[in-house]
Structure 1
Amino acid sequence: MKKALFSPIILAFVVLFSLMVIPNQWIERFIPPSRVNNAATELNPFMFQGKFIQDKMLEDPRYLPIYGSSELSRLDQFHPSNYFEVNHASFTPFLIGRGGTESLIHFMNFSEHANQLKGKKLVFVLSPQWFQPKGTDESHFVPNYSSLQGYDLAFNQQVDPTLKKMAIKRLIRFSPVRNDKMLATLYKAEVTNDPWIKQKANLIRPFAYFYRNILEKKDLYYTLSGGVPRNRVISQSVKDKSWAQLRKEANRVGKSQATNNRFYIINSQYNKIKSRVPSLKNYKRGASYGKSVEYHDFQLVLDLLKKSGADPLFISVPANGPWYDYTGFPKSGRTSYYKRIKQQIEAEGFQVADFSKHEYDPYFMKDTIHIGWKGWVYVDRAIQDFVAGKPQSNHPVQTLVEATK
């Protein structure tokens, strides 16, 4: 009985030990090159919470990483992943982000790859709704937090020490970090002069390093096993068309898909909130995106990108003007955000494609917060100019009459 009981346990231990002692280089040899290309549009959390796939992507000049949040998953025919593929661009957009992926999460991700960012062009899409007064919260941080990136930051010697301390002071407030006693101790030792905490951190550092290696190995095995291919249809409707033609086509598609409301929201999304719309009138009175902890977190991102020598283009997405007006969200609470975020970016010498004047541009947004049909057309042009080394320019906003023709 004892032999029958313990044999599976011993076997499991032997298998686990064997998997752990296999050198990383051996595992990497079996990961097919196509794995990186497949991950470009998968939007798989395990990919951007991991390390290996992004390492390989950043090494390859063919890929243009696009960082953002939930808007990246709106893969229509005007989306950069479709537009640049069918028009045979010299680069492939690589999407990194999902709902709730805000500045702190992006900071940890950039920290993981800080030594690969010098001279690297990348696109970073900003959303106004990130800039709530208290910044990101547990509900957005927890699902997007990466233990591997958390431990790598603890051992990271590439990030400026002052910047690292500022980030740790923010990160340690969130439960995944705070409740991880080993990581929390390492973090506390970075930001305190308490000799006991520093001594304790030195004692657990070897164990933390071993655990960090386990997480790295786990990332490799997951990459080896493959991700979940995203089911998307490649549309040729945007091929070889001028920007004017694309805007006209985007208007046509938007007009055909947003027919049951006056906010230019796609029908499928409006149907989800239709019953609650009367109760949402003026419920955002007094709100503002002009003051938020998120500006501090975003500055961490800017500082890291600047110190790493990256070459980013920031996309400033507007609010849906008609919807925000209906909810009573003051115009001043939006314009203060547009002005502040643009100044913050340009103060670091980075480019920004500012689309704040498109709040009332029909079909620029697809729903209450996400960029859509025509918005992607403008973003595509901004990206194309950026990759070509051209400065960003203000493109004309279509009037309601022009858009509805």
Structure 2
Amino acid sequence: MSSKLKPFLPIFISGAIFIIFVLLPSSWFTGLVNQKTLAENRMSLTDQVLKGTLIQERLFNHNDKYYPIYGSSELEKDDPFNPAVALNKHNASHQPFLIGTGGNTDLVNGIELASNYDELKGKKFAFIISPQWFTNHGLTNQNFDARVSQNQINQLFHQKNMSNELKQRYAKRLLQFKHVHNKDFLRTTVENKGKTDGNYISNFKENQLVKIEAIKSLANFKDVPLEHVKPVTDEKASWSEMRDVATQYGKAHSQSNEFKIRDKYWKLIKANKRKINRDYEFNINSPEFSDLKLLVDTMREAGADVEYISIPANGKWYDHIGVDIEKREPVYKKINKTVTENGGKIYDMTDKDYEPYVITDAVHIGWKGWVYIDEHVAHHMKEK
């Protein structure tokens, strides 16, 4: 080789590797997502779990070890009573697998699950519904852009067993977002009453996204929120013992205020001198209710065995900031009604709105609240 070309050899090699990568089929890479990958991502809450297709697909298709729990930011909190930490071989038959992050509201979770529609029949999992999702505006364009992936939407419309009616409803809803990718495909799907013509993204693009996702799933590049959190109860503790410990733990970590808000968060509230305004929450006419109905309808038609969990807010704190029980209660009731009247079963915790140590700040379940959920999902795991 000419000495003039030698400096460019690394570039030529890199280019050749890139071309080979682009041309290889995605099926060569999907095998990278295996049982070891699931074990490593059980608490990772990474984009590969939340916005990908491979990990969740394997979770439902090739697994009888894990129990998925879908939710939002409460799953990220470093709480020793989080089910991923507190549930063990003595009190639960499966290991919890956490799927959620801040901004994961009903539609975001609905698309994640609907993209695996054909695998959901008879599958057990929990879905935590947070009351602060039910705002004046519902899911924002910003959260949609950050939380929903093109690959998940594409896979949703490829589900063979999903009814055309559901596909039409998803297409209509997706068209309401400003930066949705393929509006022509969605409009055509609506016009054809759910019959799909073509793909949401090209086969070539899907192939590349799946390969990238498979490679990224091999390593976590961010800290796992619960990685260093250890249980604070004995492995064989009864549920009542766990509740007692959680009560004492909550009391010890909320000494600074009358609202039973954890001390670290209360310090942030006191540092923020601005008036707290949450008047846009607890809207009885929130568009979020339609998204919740879409999710419940999808899970019913798919035949999934979902335990919906409706959590409360910190009632004493919300009273203090002017969002009183007369505004909260109708939203709690409508959440329950939306689930039950559309074929879902619900563990309704909203009667614990004023119970201390159920909510750790304004809206995040924790401490004693998690123990209630731990016990409930453990029973759901064992139900036939």
Going from structure 1 to structure 2, the CA distance change for 1:206 and 1:315 (only over 3 Å counts) comes to closer
Distance 1:389 1:32, change over 3 A: closer
C-alpha change, 1:238 and 1:77, in structure 2 (3 Å) is farther
Matched ranges for 1:1-400 at <5 A: 11-31=13-33, 33-58=35-60, 59-85=62-88, 87=90, 89-177=92-180, 180=181, 183-192=182-191, 205=199, 208-225=202-219, 228=222, 230=224, 231-276=227-272, 279-280=275-276, 283-284=277-278, 288-389=282-383
**For each residue in 1:268-315, what CA deviation from the matched residue of structure 2 results, as whole angstroms up to 9, or x when unmatched?**
1111111346723xx446863322101111111111101110000011
Q: State the SS of the aligned residue for 2:347.
A: strand
Structure 1 residue runs without a partner (length 5+)? 391-405
CA contact (8 A) 1:35 1:226 kept: no
- Aligned-residue offset at 1:263: 1.1
Inter-partner Cα distance in structure 1 for 2:67 and 2:119: 13
Decide whether aligned partners of structure 1 residues 72 and 285 sit closer, same or farther in structure 2, where only a CA change above 3 A counts.
closer
2:32–2:215 CA contact under 8 A, matched in 1: no
Aligned-pair CA distance for 1:4: 8.5
| Corresponding residue SS for 1:176 | coil
Structure 1 SS opposite 2:259:
coil
**Equivalent position amino acid for 1:22 in 2:** L
Question: Partner of 1:396 in structure 2?
Answer: none
Aligned match of 1:394: none
Q: Structure 1 residues 310, 30: CA separation in 2 closer, same or farther (over 3 Å shift)?
A: closer
Specify whether residues 221 and 368 from structure 1 end up closer, same or farther in structure 2 by C-alpha distance, changes over 3 A only.
Answer: same
Aligned residue-pair number: 378
Is the contact made by 1:86 and 1:235 (CA closer than 8 Å) also made in structure 2? Answer: no
Q: What do residues 183-238 of structure 1 show as CA deviations (whole Å, max 9, x unaligned)?
A: 22211211236xxxx9xx96x85972221222122211222455656232322524
| Distance in structure 2 (CA, Å) of the matches to 1:158 and 1:330 | 44
CA distance, structure 2, for counterparts of residue 106 and residue 2 of structure 1: 55
Asked whether the equivalents of residues 319 and 325 of structure 2 are also in contact (C-alpha less than 8 Å), the reply is yes
Amino acid at match of 2:379: D
- Structure 1, 4-13 or 29-38: larger mean CA deviation: 4-13
Contact kept, 8 Å, 2:153 with 2:200, in 1: the verdict is no
Q: Do the aligned residues in 2 keep the contact of 1:86 with 1:238 (CA within 8 Å)?
A: no
Q: Structure 1's 88 and 382: CA in aligned 2 closer, same or farther, altered over 3 A?
A: closer
Residues 131, 282 of structure 2: 8 Å contact kept: no
Output the amino acid matched with 1:186: F
Residue 60 and residue 206 in structure 1: after superposition, are their counterparts in 2 closer, same or farther (change >3 A)?
A: closer
Give the direction of change, closer, same or farther, for the CA distance of 1:387–1:374 in structure 2 (3 Å limit).
Answer: same
Cα distance change, pair 43–226 in 1 and its aligned pair in 2 (3 A) = closer
Unaligned segments of structure 2, at least 5 residues: none
RMSD of aligned alpha carbons: 2.8
Residues 26-83 of structure 1: per-residue CA shift (max 9 Å, x gap): 3344555311111111111222211111122112111100000000112422111111
User: CA separation in 2, counterparts of 1:120 and 1:272?
Assistant: 41
> Does the 8 Å contact 2:284/2:334 carry over to 1?
yes
Relative distance call for 1:164 and 1:10 in structure 2 (3 A) is farther
> Residues 206 and 313 of structure 1: is their aligned pair in 2 closer, same or farther, counting only changes over 3 Å?
closer
Deviation at 1:383, TM superposition (A): 0.9
How high is the sequence identity, in percent, across the aligned residues? Answer: 30
For residues 277 and 360 of structure 1, what CA distance do their matches in structure 2 show? 25
Give the Cα–Cα distance (whole angstroms) in 2 for the partners of residues 64 and 277 of structure 1.
42
Q: Structure 2 counterpart of 1:146, which letter? A: S
Do the aligned partners of 2:250 and 2:367 also contact (CA within 8 Å) in 1? yes
Alpha carbons of structure 1 residues 215 and 285: separation in structure 2 relative to 1, 3 Å: closer
| Cα separation, 2, equivalents of 1:375 and 1:287 | 21
Q: Is the 8 A contact 1:163 1:304 kept in 2?
A: yes
Segment of structure 1 superposing worse, 327-336 or 95-104: 327-336
**Cα distance per residue 1:1-35 (max 9 Å; x no partner):** 99789877665443222113334443344555311
The answer to whether the 8 A contact 1:168-1:187 is kept is yes
Contact 1:47 1:53 in 2 (8 A): yes
Q: Using the alignment, how far apart are the partners of 1:294 and 1:207 within structure 2?
A: 27
Secondary structure of the residue aligned to 1:175 is coil
Instruction: Describe the SS at the equivalent of 1:142.
Output: helix
SS at match of 1:364: coil
Counterpart of 1:368 in structure 2: which amino acid? A
Deviation digits for residues 107-142 of structure 1 (CA, Å, limit 9, x no counterpart):
211121111100001100000011112211123222
Please state how far the C-alpha of 1:374 moved relative to its aligned partner. Answer: 0.5
Letter in 2 for 1:237: T
